[in-house]
Chain A
Amino acid sequence: MSETNTNKRHESDTKKIMIRYLLGTLSKKEEEDLEELYFTEDNYFEQLRIVEIELIDNYLHQNLSTEDRKYFEQRFLTSPERYKKVEIARVLLKAANEAQTNSSISDNVAKSWRDIVQIIFQPQNRKLNFVLAASGIMALVGGSWLVNEHLRLRSQFKQTQDELISLRALEQQMAIQKERSDKLDKELTQERDQRHLLEEKVASLLSSSAKILTFVLNPGLVRGGNTKTKLTIPPNTELIQLQLNLEQSFEFKNYRVEIETAEGKKIPNLESVRIKNTNSGGKAILVELSANLLVNNDYLVTLYGLSSNGNGEKIGGYYFRVLNK
């Protein structure tokens, strides 16, 4: 018994300290001790939350002393979050009070009819005349009907109220569903946009990676002169196609091309030499080479016609200069 009392006193003291903490009236040291307790002990934190609920309720029920009320308003009610807590409590207490009042009315109606019946049939009142009894019975029948009717209406009212709550919950769920669906739509659109952007980027990269530049060269331009063709090759170019226009038509089956720098250094591995008809009705030889083989320099292109026995005959010379690479 004594242990129970001690526990109760301890709980009451703890509650008081927690209230003082929430009202901001503890010393710094006491505050720090309490904070360490509620950070490390689950029960303590739960108790603090309960004390907070009760403090708010007491404020709303005007159960706080004038002094505590001041502390509450100036030190507890300091953030919108706390203000919201108080407002939620106000709405909840109002709803709970209304529910309680409705329930009490219903109980009282039922109880008052039970009382009347008891009074009529009490032993000391047996001398009451039968008229009273008869009217009592009539009243009882009528009253019972009234009570039943009242209870039926209340039950209907409660059912309607429950349906309304369910309806609101349903509306809420639909709103949430719609929100989710809108969000998904938005995400899908974003996804599509992003994919479109990526596709554009890929296409752009593909086109730039396959970039081929074609330069048309005419024969006979003098080596070292100012009239030589100048080739400007952009940095992302990979392949150069040289179109060597022929001065006249030749009957060679194959052709060979040699390209060398002004210093006489030959460019190796020239492939894909083929003949092409030009727009002006003449013929040209096409030769392809990797762009990285050409640096800023002057170049000489020599074209050989190959006879059926493989002998080469020089049939043209072309000059060009690579700039700004």
Chain B
Amino acid sequence: MADRLGTNEANIESKKLDILQEQLEFNNLLQWLDADQDKAAEQYKKLQERLSSFFQQKLRREDSKDLADKVFSIIAKKITKGEQIRTNNQATFALGIARVLVLEHWRKNKEEPLSDELLLNYPSKEPAIDSKLIDNEQSELIQTCLEHCLAELPLESRSLVLQYFGGQGQEQKNSKHREQLAKQYVTTVENLRLRACRLRGKLEDCINKQLAKITKK
């Protein structure tokens, strides 16, 4: 009993130390990103988005956010160890590490991007990802989340998103539709595009958060 308690206590202590070490490394990372905490947090989020996009572009079937966290973890450890990081731009440094991770992944999995010749001349009939991954149930969930997230938007924004992305189809039709809408909103087509896409980005983030909550349950 005493031995078991002792082992448990040692495990708890070891975990506590790990957590403390991670906290220290994370604080060092934030400090490295910016001396101002709020700016550092903003910088962290921005970098995470870019890393996530990068990994989505480069690797198949991998969780891009996990890989982004891996990049942060590597940098944090380097800083904590006191390694010299000779760069004026943290984003470029993070990109460098992300590239190394991609190369390692390709080497490990013997995976390379499909050549144009192979892709165009001998195309696979199936898309790279099995469409069954998203089933009807998932679509219904997305629908529910979309309704929830649309309801959270202010009325004007909701209306703009639905009008902008509704009634689209052929390129020519799209262009006419946007011009009309820009007139209605008394703005330029380009500004309208920016506003609508920003709102759509927010909607997608909201839907993903809702989906994650439901999946956790």
Contact = CB atoms under 8 A, between A and B. Distances in A.
B186 interface: no
Contact of B142 (A46, A91, A200): A91
A84 B213 contact: no
B154 interface: no
Interface string A3-46: 00000000000000000011011000000000110111010011
Interface size class of A (residues with CB under 8 A): 35 or more
B61 interface: yes
A38 B51 CA distance: 10
B91 interface: yes
Contacts of A179: 213, 216-217
B49 interface: yes
A79 B61 contact: yes
Contact of B148 (A22, A93, A165): A165
A57 B168 contact: yes
A87 B170 contact: no
Given A70-B123, A83-B133, A96 B166 contact: yes
**Interface of chain B, helix or strand or loop or mixed?**
helix
A78 interface: yes
B207 interface: yes
Contacts, number: 175
Contacts of B211: 84
B92 A100 contact: no
A63 interface: yes
Interchain residue pairs A-B with the least CB separation, the first 10:
A100-B166, A96-B166, A165-B151, A100-B167, A73-B127, A96-B165, A99-B162, A50-B197, A78-B60, A39-B91
Given A100-B163, A172-B210, 6 more contacts: A22-B57, A74-B119, A79-B61, A93-B166, A96-B161, A96-B165
12 contacts: A35-B54, A45-B49, A54-B197, A61-B168, A75-B113, A75-B114, A78-B60, A83-B133, A96-B165, A96-B167, A166-B151, A179-B216
Interface of A: 21-22, 24-25, 35-36, 38-40, 42, 45-46, 48-50, 53-54, 57-58, 61, 63, 67, 70-71, 73-75, 77-85, 87-88, 90-93, 95-101, 104, 162, 164-166, 168-169, 172, 175-176, 179, 197, 200-201, 204
